[in-house]
Amino acid sequence: MVETKRDERRARTARKAGPERTCAGCGQHAAPDELVRVVLDPSSGELAVDLAAGGFGRGSWVHPSAPCVTKAIKGGFAKSFKAKVSVEPQAFGEALVRAADRRIEGLLGGARRGKFVAVGTDAVKDAIVQRKAELVVVATDAAAAARQRDVEDAIAQGKAIAWNEKVRLGALFGRDEVAVCAVLHPGLAEAIQGVFRASRPFTQSAGSVSAWWSREVR
């Protein structure tokens, strides 16, 4: 619950805040929810991805895209932190995907604790029919669940994401396997989708981080 309230507050602040941030890659201004916050550990010169945008330390912002990340690593981050920054683009992409997975797990945990989640095919169907499903999360290895008509509708409406595997989704809800769940809370659904969107450029192509690297970055 605590997490839920905090996330809600953050989501509200992010929407209201208005002050735009500058992407350390392309240099364009953008709303905070279109960018990813990065913090620097001054002692090691290492970057950490701060998807909750509440971490300590000086932050820099970047579009979650391979070209912007690459440019930022080549100089934008160093300029914005006024410090030497050492990170490989591929390692940064991997860190972003790990941070996104952790963040989505945390948000789903918040949804579970607040009882803002429907777990399993039947519960999800009911939630969709009752128009309570704000976001449907389908495990990437749950093809059968993704083919259910209600779930297909949610996918067509952009209200579904394919994330993680049945076993790992199950672990979040204390079950052996969960093929599909639905988030019933608008703020949490929005936060999950935002994080998912940010990590997607780096997970596309069969979930391989090196794929975006070889495709996008030369």
If DSSP codes are grouped into helix, strand and coil, which group holds residue 39? strand
Cβ contact 50:12 at 8 Å: no
Q: Which lies closer to Zn ion via its Cβ, residue 66 or residue 146?
A: 66
We find the least distance from the C-beta atom of residue 59 to Zn ion, in angstroms, to be 15
Using the rule CB under 5 A, is 68 a contact of Zn ion?
yes
Q: Is 104 exposed, middle or buried (0-12, 13-18, 19+ CB in 10 A)?
A: buried
We find the least distance from the C-beta atom of residue 169 to Zn ion, in angstroms, to be 32
Using the rule CB under 5 A, is 26 a contact of Zn ion?
yes
- Number of residues engaging Zn ion in binding (CB under 5 A): 5
Q: Which lies closer to Zn ion via its Cβ, residue 68 or residue 209?
A: 68
Using the rule CB under 5 A, is 23 a contact of Zn ion?
yes
Give the x/- contact pattern for Zn ion in 117-156, rule: CB under 5 A: ----------------------------------------
What span, in angstroms and rounded, lies between the C-alpha atoms of 91 and 83?
19
Using the rule CB under 5 A, is 76 a contact of Zn ion?
no
Q: Which stretch binds Zn ion (CB under 5 A): 64-72, 102-110, 194-202, 208-216?
A: 64-72
Using the rule CB under 5 A, is 25 a contact of Zn ion?
yes
Structure tokens at 25: 């890659």
Using the rule CB under 5 A, is 66 a contact of Zn ion?
no
Cβ contact 198:51 at 8 Å: yes
Using the rule CB under 5 A, is 166 a contact of Zn ion?
no
We find the least distance from the C-beta atom of residue 26 to Zn ion, in angstroms, to be 3
The single-letter code of the amino acid at 30 is A
We find the least distance from the C-beta atom of residue 68 to Zn ion, in angstroms, to be 3
Structure tokens at 153: 């509708």
Q: Where are the alpha helices (DSSP H) in the chain?
A: 2-17, 66-71, 77-81, 89-113, 121-129, 143-146, 149-156, 166-172, 186-203, 209-216
What span, in angstroms and rounded, lies between the C-alpha atoms of 217 and 211?
10
C-beta atoms surrounding 46 within 10 Å? 14
We find the least distance from the C-beta atom of residue 72 to Zn ion, in angstroms, to be 8
Q: Which lies closer to Zn ion via its Cβ, residue 187 or residue 194?
A: 194
We find the least distance from the C-beta atom of residue 92 to Zn ion, in angstroms, to be 14
Which helix (H) or strand (E) segment is 49 a member of?
strand 46-49
Contact residues for Zn ion, defined by CB under 5 A? 23, 25-26, 63, 68
